[in-house]
């Protein structure tokens, strides 16, 4: 699939990148504890549906100083009032930052550090968002089409999903009056 001696890949839009090394699919059943409306989650799953929320196409490298590339495709939709999003994570290596580059679609990136600092950025075609070291990050698709973005991050970043899963993000993105709206997360717990 990926020739390790080749250093180029191509952005295919909602098809991700090609070639890639690995593909991760996240279905609603993989994220049942993430969405705020647990009742909506259980209703969807018990009706036999299990929507694909997002896919990540990745090329990872090994040595310190090398850079990984990931292309995420978040499918449009909501669970209850809440727009589809990625799980979100801190990097295990807290000294590592990341860059997100918007390819297509419309969305937001939520960023939050362990002291409670919170920041939100827009992702759309051509936007470049810097995620500073120490900030957990989650992308949210607020549009009607796939949200596609590239992520470039150090090969030794690692992913800590556990911490942000325990606290949640301080804000969530829901539809209010037909529009995406950032509201306080009623389940947020500060570390």
Instruction: Give the separation between CA 90 and CA 157, rounded to whole angstroms.
Output: 9
Q: What length is written for the chain?
A: 191
Among candidate residues 183, 154, 157, 152, the one with its CA nearest the CA of residue 170:
183
Q: Which is nearer to ligand S6P, 44 or 98 (CB)?
A: 98
Specify the residue, 50 or 176, whose C-beta has the smaller distance to ligand S6P.
50
The binder of 176, among Zn ion, ligand S6P, none, by C-beta within 5 to 8 A per type, is: none
Distance of CA 169 to the CA centre of its chain: 12
Torsion of CA 4, 102, 137, 71, to 10 degrees: -30
CB atoms within 10 A of CB 187: 11
* Shorter beta-carbon distance to Zn ion: residue 83 or 135: 135
Radius of gyration, CA atoms only, the chain: 16
Residue nearest to Zn ion as judged by C-beta position = 98
Q: Which is nearer to ligand S6P, 139 or 174 (CB)?
A: 139
Q: Smaller CB distance to Zn ion: residue 79 or 164?
A: 164
Query: Residue 70 touches which of ligand S6P, Zn ion, none (CB < 5 to 8 A by kind)?
Result: ligand S6P
- For Zn ion (CB under 5 A), the number of binding residues is 1
- 183 bridge partner residues: 172
Does a cis peptide bond (omega within 30 degrees of 0) precede residue 19?
yes
Q: Which does 136 bind (CB under 5 to 8 A by kind): Zn ion, ligand S6P, none?
A: none
Q: How far is the CB of 72 from ligand S6P (least distance, A)?
A: 4
Residues binding ligand S6P (CB under 6 A): 56, 70, 72, 86-89, 98, 137, 139, 151, 153, 157, 159
For residue 128, the minimal CB distance to ligand S6P (Å) is 14
Output the CA–CA distances (angstroms, integers) from residue 103 to 66, 107, 110, 129, 135, in the order listed. 23, 11, 18, 12, 22
Q: How far is the CB of 3 from Zn ion (least distance, A)?
A: 25
C-alpha 29/C-alpha 50 separation (Å) is 6
Which residues make up the interface to Zn ion (CB under 5 A)? 98
């Amino acid at each position: 699939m990926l020739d390790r001696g080749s250093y180029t890949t191509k952005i295919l839009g909602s098809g991700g990148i090609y070639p890639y090394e690995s593909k991760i699919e996240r279905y609603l059943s993989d994220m049942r504890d993430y969405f705020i409306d647990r009742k909506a989650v259980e209703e969807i799953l018990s009706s036999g549906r299990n929507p694909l929320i997002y896919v990540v196409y990745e090329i990872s490298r090994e040595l310190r100083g090398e850079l990984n590339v990931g292309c995420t495709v978040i499918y449009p939709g909501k669970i209850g009032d809440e727009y589809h999003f990625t799980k979100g994570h801190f990097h295990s290596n807290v000294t590592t930052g990341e860059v997100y580059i918007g390819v297509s679609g419309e969305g937001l990136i939520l960023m939050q550090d362990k002291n409670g600092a919170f920041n939100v950025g827009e992702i759309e075609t051509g936007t470049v968002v810097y995620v500073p070291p120490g900030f957990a990050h989650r992308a949210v698709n607020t549009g009607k089409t796939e949200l596609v973005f590239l992520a470039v991050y150090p090969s030794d970043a690692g992913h800590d999903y556990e911490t942000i899963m325990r606290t949640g993000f301080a804000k969530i993105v829901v539809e209010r009056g037909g529009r995406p709206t950032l509201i306080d997360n009623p389940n947020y717990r500060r570390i």
